Structure 1
């Protein structure tokens, strides 16, 4: 009996894990769920830190995430085996039971280790991952020698501060871009930070630029000492950094700015470029490197390159050309601009005249480096036409190093009368872009660093901007005080008589705009971004020639009544004046072409438009009725407090949808509608067919000012409809490029009828649909076949959707064999569509498709690709492993070909949301029964 008892105890001990297996399985599920929640929170935090601050996860965090994934994979395998192993396989089940116990402990340990009290991220991303576009170094021997000197200094432990100096246009910035790119790729430093300082920068401006480069928010700090402390902390977090300060004009105490002093302990380095050796001394450079001009041979090689590799100089012209190059004194910028100006010239008389012009141009630029500017002045004088010269000089109204949007620049040129002989706006833009291209070809403007397929930018080399300001200052036609502390303006009324253009862009402390002189010639006044105190009520009294008035992004609360006197005004830009509540009567502004009121606080549109002589013969209404200029071409009021509805809803106050429809000359329209009914009323008018671009919104929609500008200066046609209980909405068709629909709770279909002849969505590039619980499908096959330029489809949280693309009516099985081609589709993303069974019953041919994301679409069992139509451009497929394994394929080889692109993403983010909704549905059902 004693032996039997021992055997019994042994058996009990052996079988104990089996007895508690079911209980432990439940415990393991809970522990894995808790671990997954922590993992999800950490991933969300990492994503936010990356997007907002450019930070990267710590190595220990990456390792933890990897371990979590491994544990979850093993748990998945264990549970799968438990489901497959019969209860009679006691030994195998005992082994699995022990593994369950181990994984419980492992999950608990991982959850505890996932607290990361010292933070999740490091500051490696900001300033250290993006390289500048490669710029060819000219003068290989000289430039490479300078490059090597700087690199050697950066590798010396005892050298922390390096000064690089040389004359303007000699190539300092180009050399430093190569340094930036090389050390960023080499990862010698934790962070490589580039800040362009510029001539106009003071201590505050430098701190602001540093904060932008470091992604540090200083908006709550006004005191420079507090700002420096915040910057100092941000630099120290980066550890070993390389800071490049390009184009220094004056000295700054590093500690006062907020930059730590480099030393052998922190191994940080600071390099500044400047035109003055004195600045290097003032900044206490431990090494000073002069960037020399090009040698004669290098200069000649560069010049011939700019003339064109296929251009051969005659024996008579070549010595003159070499003399021309000598006048450029080894300055790369000068050689490039002069070479561009003389490209294709084979007349010896023109070459002799060019040499004479270069020799004689120096005295024209008082107080400037004559040797540097003579060749630049030559290039200016040899621009194609006076229009080209005027357009070039206009760019000096912007800040140094500004990225200037080409569309906004051309609009100002047009409004200022540069292309008055061209009546058609579209042709005016074509002319403007041609001028910009000519100026870039002449190396008088550079391609901007910003820009995408919608917008292009240019920038002005600081030397060329100095040239433009010098030319305009001599003629007394420009006043340029950008990013300055202005005070009263103008200080001397007598100096304003000949002025035609004034820019006080982004200037501070403008106490009062007061002008008693007549200013009869003034045509452009730019105050964008300035901190205005007040505008004298008579300020615009004698500015009848003013054509461009830009008050965008200022703090003004009201506009003076004298604004009504600007009878020749073509462009009135009051964008992002968030405190502006009222605009005076525009009754006399009969020449107005562009009116931008986006981002203002006006509640009613200006009165008094009914007496305009150029208005169409509309019926006169109530005296407070606001009539829009009949020939207005651009109207932007999105993100203002004005919401458009039908005229009947206005109660006699302000303009409505019907008034917009009467504007037959309108080309750009950015509006917020009060509801979907007003929006549909406008869409049904088909007025939008005549627009080049539009942004039409309904509901609680927020657009960043930069997004609004992107639409305004593009050919995009965007619709964003949100928050409505309507069953149906009328949407534009033919020229729509982006359709965004969110939170339309009763919407069941988008385009209800099938397309007829002439109807198509050929311009549509992007579809975003979110939180439309009754939407049954996105588009019919008929509409889907017209999407030849579609690039992105994102559909999420549409619980009723069973089929994304549906054949309307009984189309027959034969039609299912006809494929649909979407040649430009790059991304297909589907989230939380619990009842979706089919993307499309027909095969899709998507030759440009790069990414497929499917999360929480558990009923979707097939992808619409056959072995003969697999996208060759595919880079990744994201979804849960369970969903991927459940997919059905028309051919076993299809999955085999797609498998390498699949990467697992868990559905856990949406599981709790789905369960909550299911619980709420059960509760509502129970409540209704009770």
Structure 2
């Protein structure tokens, strides 16, 4: 490390591997102990100053950043956060324009702070413009490296015949040493053992120089080849659809699948679950072809497009005038060029500054209009009269307050997505929208459902979660949804009770039971009686996924004890002063979350008689239960073979996380417990915790251990041999780390490189944590 060099510019053509290189650098230095803080942020072509500041604030864990509206205030907040962390390494990937670091809020590296900033770009000129003290060019792979990578993508078990191998090497030469091209072409040719097909592929590559303005031939001939060789036209259409999302955006499976189905890609599939399965397969095919990348995200399954593949998709659709993509732009108004808009079928203005949808725009073929996250404030009362073939309308997170009556003209609409349009108080009649399959009003301010709901007989999914002002769900509406497969209503003001208690005012539990096609149910029951009524009905046995909550708070609840056997299940128990025990018998629980049960002292489960009773449990989260003394018994703990995460926080009475119930026998107490999938354990604000587990834990996948404010915890029970292959970080205070007791001096020596000292300033206030967690869960529900 050269302390005299603080700013490093890395440049090279697109697809050469700059991002991969930065990922390796980030991972290498994150736990090396050289820097106090290592951050990697993607800038991207469409990012402006505000967007970049937002990404930096997220990476730095600044929870109140959205409260600062002025750019100077944001800059000062970032500057302060960087300075608090001391010596940092900041990686800015995929830069397209220069900017002063101080304007963003990033301190300049110097001899005193010894910080370093690395940026990647396609332009050497930009490196100079940013004042790089060292400039590094990333070249393509050498011939032997290219051949090795290509064979890897063909598959380790695939052997090329003597006739095919020279043709394959010629194919690799056409990729010109570019890793992205080699990877996508290799994936396209995986499993092909026909010499004729290989010869034809070589000719296609030589002749596929794209006639696409602004694209480099060497890169895009490979990518165009891979696109053309996708399995079916549906695969190609689904790939192109992904370009409607912002560059470097993490795209959720659910979002893609919902829109693909609504836009008519799979009209022949009526069953929503079967449609999801088909779309899921398409996504995996695109990943296998290296046309989409997998993303790690705690909120579910996500993919992203490489920026070059997105550029290719946009160029292809632009040439045919089928797409208009102006995401994160200052577009101002809806596009109005009639000569171009006549053929447009999909428009994306996501996260743009558009404020008005005017009636002057005529798009007779438009099927998808995406305005999610835009600043849209007004919609002309005639706008929807000119786009009557629209099938997908997504206005989620927009600012407008009301819809024009012309919404009723969208007779072909299949999906109306209005998630978190917080200013929206009323939706016009939907009586003409008889083709509607998906209606999502989650997070809006509506008091009453729109007129015409009882005519939506084709509706498959209704989203009403976090509707804090919703007064009533009419019986007529629910009873008409004969094909409804998903009812999502967690966090709504309207809570479900029995029809008898309703006394004719609105729908009740019995109306849910009559929804015979329901597969996914997320609802709040008003009390234990309503919950019991539903459970006794047996309706839940037909569900594939459910989240059922009872009361808020639990006024008369003493114990919950029910069996569930679904493929996915989340039990969420929170906010009670009178609940003193919670019992969960054998089930297919995937997540157990217990929060703010102030008198809870016991989580009771009869000791398992067989090892698979909680086989599907992936996450245990226990927060703010001040009288709870332990989480689970050893008997149950050792059955959790799919457990991935443990979070225990703010439980003052807890002295052991996993307790020995006293009947295990001395010999058994020496047998280690294996948790093969555990990735993260977080223990926070447990002042009396003395033990995690009395037995040794073998956790071969454990990546992160976080221990905050647990002064009595003096030993870690993990097997050192199982940790070293997976561990990335141990977070805690220096005082706690130095107080730990070890079986041998070597153990601390081995683990020391993974330790990250977390002083007090790095933790959020408790109320900030709760607010962030509430928002996260609301977003994941929607």
* Superposition TM-score tier, normalisation by shorter sequence: 0.7 to 0.9
Other structure's SS at 1:230 match: helix
- Worse overlay, 223-232 or 870-879: 870-879
Among 232, 235, 248, the alignment partner of 2:95 is 248
- How far residue 439 of structure 1 moved from its aligned partner, in angstroms, is 1.3
Unaligned runs of 5+ in 2: 461-471, 716-740, 745-782
Equivalent position to 2:348, from 503, 506, 510? 503
Question: Does the alignment pair 1:771 with 2:597?
Answer: yes
The corresponding residue for 1:725 is 556
CA contact (8 A) 1:839 1:863 kept: no
Matched, 1:695 2:526: no
In the alignment, does 2:372 pair up with 1:528? yes
How many positions carry a matched residue from both structures? 683
| Aligned pair partner of 1:377 in 217, 224, 244 | 224
- Does 2:199 align with 1:352? yes
What is the distance in 1 between the residues matched to 2:318 and 2:609? Answer: 59
Question: What do residues 221-258 of structure 1 show as CA deviations (whole Å, max 9, x unaligned)?
Answer: 33323322332333333333222211111111222222
Report what 1:307 is aligned to.
Answer: 154
2:643 pairs with 1:643: no
Structure 1 residue 204, shift from structure 2 partner: 1.8
Aligned counterpart in structure 2 of residue 175 of structure 1, from 7, 21, 37:
21
Asked whether the 8 Å contact 1:546–1:566 carries over to 2, the reply is yes
Q: CA deviation at 1:445?
A: 1.1
Q: Aligned partners of 1:191 and 1:821: how far apart in 2?
A: 35
CA deviations over 1:388-431 (Å, ceiling 9, x no partner): 11111111111111112223322222222222333333332222
Aligned 8 A contact 2:600 2:625 in 1? no
Cα offsets for 1:891-915 (capped at 9, x unmatched): xxxxxxx9979xxxxxxxxxxxxxx
Other structure's SS at 1:374 match: helix
Which one of 391, 397, 411 corresponds to residue 244 of structure 2?
397
Counterpart in 1 of 2:104? 257
2:408 to 542, 564, 584: 564
Q: Is the 8 A contact 2:554 2:579 kept in 1?
A: no
C-alpha distance in structure 2 between counterparts of 1:426 and 1:199, whole Å: 37
1:208 paired with 2:35, answer no
The equivalent residue for 2:75 is 228
**Alpha-carbon separation, structure 2, partners of 1:557 and 1:345:** 56
* Alpha-carbon distance between aligned partners in 1 of 2:341 and 2:502, rounded to the nearest angstrom: 45
- Give 1:514 shift: 2.4
CA 1:538–1:472: 2 relative to 1, 3 Å: same
After superposition, residues 755-904 of structure 1 pair within 5 angstroms as: 760-763=586-589, 765-766=591-592, 768=594, 771=597, 773=599, 778-779=604-605, 787-789=613-615, 790=617, 792=620, 823-824=639-640, 832=653, 843=664, 847-848=673-674, 873=698
Matching residue of 1:659 = 511
Question: What residue is the counterpart of 1:580 in the other structure?
Answer: 424
- Pick from 654, 672, 697 the counterpart of residue 524 of structure 2: 672
C-alpha distance in structure 1 between counterparts of 2:425 and 2:235, whole Å: 39
- Give the Cα–Cα distance (whole angstroms) in 1 for the partners of residues 71 and 389 of structure 2: 42
How far apart, CA to CA, are the structure 2 residues paired with 1:856 and 1:218? 29
Query: Structure 2: how far apart are the matches of 1:732 and 1:667?
Result: 18
Aligned partner of 1:187 in structure 2 is 33
Aligned partner of residue 167 in structure 2, secondary structure: helix
Cα distance, 1:362 vs structure 2: 1.7
Return the index of the structure with the highest Cα Rg. 1
Looking at structure 2, the residues matched to 669 and 725 of structure 1 have their Cα atoms a distance apart, in angstroms, of 24
**Shift in CA distance, 776/469, structure 1 to aligned 2, threshold 3 Å:** closer
Local SS of the residue matching 1:399: coil
How far 1:833 sits from its partner (Å)? 8.2
Q: Decide whether aligned partners of structure 1 residues 784 and 764 sit closer, same or farther in structure 2, where only a CA change above 3 A counts.
A: farther
Q: Name the residue aligned to 2:735.
A: none
Match of 1:136 in 2: none
Choose between structure 1 and 2: higher helix proportion. 1
CA RMSD after TM alignment: 4.4
CA contact (8 A) 1:587 1:611 kept: yes
How many angstroms does 1:820 deviate by?
Answer: 7.5
Q: Relative to structure 1, is the Cα distance of residues 637 and 531 closer, same or farther in structure 2, using a 3 angstrom cutoff?
A: farther
| TM-score where L is the length of structure 2 | 0.76
Distance 2:15 2:682 in 1: 48
Partner SS for 2:379: coil
Distance 1:177 1:855 in 2: 33
Offset of residue 668 of structure 1: 2.0
Q: For the residues of structure 1 that align with 2:414 and 2:102, how far apart are their CA atoms? A: 49
Q: Which residue of 2 aligns with 1:488?
A: 333
Instruction: Decide whether aligned partners of structure 1 residues 261 and 316 sit closer, same or farther in structure 2, where only a CA change above 3 A counts.
Output: same
* Contact 1:577-1:600 within 8 A present in 2 as well: yes
Asked if the contact 2:475–2:511 (Cα under 8 Å) also holds between the matched residues in 1, the reply is no
Q: Distance in 1 between matches of 2:684 and 2:217?
A: 65
How far apart, CA to CA, are the structure 1 residues paired with 2:622 and 2:234?
Answer: 46
Residue 536 to residue 684, structure 1, CA distance change in 2 (3 Å): farther
CA distance in 2, matches of 1:350, 1:856: 64
Matched-pair contact (CA < 8 Å) for 1:493–1:516: no
Greater mean alpha carbon deviation, residues 528-537 or residues 230-239: 230-239
Secondary structure of the residue aligned to 1:572 is strand
Identify if the C-alpha distance between structure 1 residues 549 and 633 changes in structure 2 by more than 3 Å, giving closer, same or farther: farther
Gaps in structure 1 of 5+ consecutive residues: 1-153, 701-721, 806-818, 885-897, 902-930
State whether residues 473 and 494 of structure 2, in contact with CA within 8 Å, keep that contact through their aligned partners in structure 1.
no
Shift of 1:828: 11
User: Matches of 1:474 and 1:823 in 2, distance apart?
Assistant: 57
Do 2:608 and 2:636's aligned partners in 1 also have CA atoms closer than 8 Å?
no
Deviation per CA, 1:490-509: give whole Å up to 9, x if none.
2334432222222222222x
Deviation digits for residues 338-370 of structure 1 (CA, Å, limit 9, x no counterpart): 121122223232223222222222242122212
CA contact (8 A) 2:474 2:507 kept: no
**The residue matched to 2:614 in structure 1 has which SS?**
coil
Q: Which one of the candidate residues 154, 157, 164 is aligned to 1:317?
A: 164
2:629–2:653 contact (8 Å) kept in structure 1: no
Higher RCO structure, 1 or 2 (CA under 8 Å, sep 6+): 2
Residue in 2 aligned with 1:603?
447
Cα distance 1:768–1:243, how it changes in 2: closer, same or farther (>3 A)?
closer
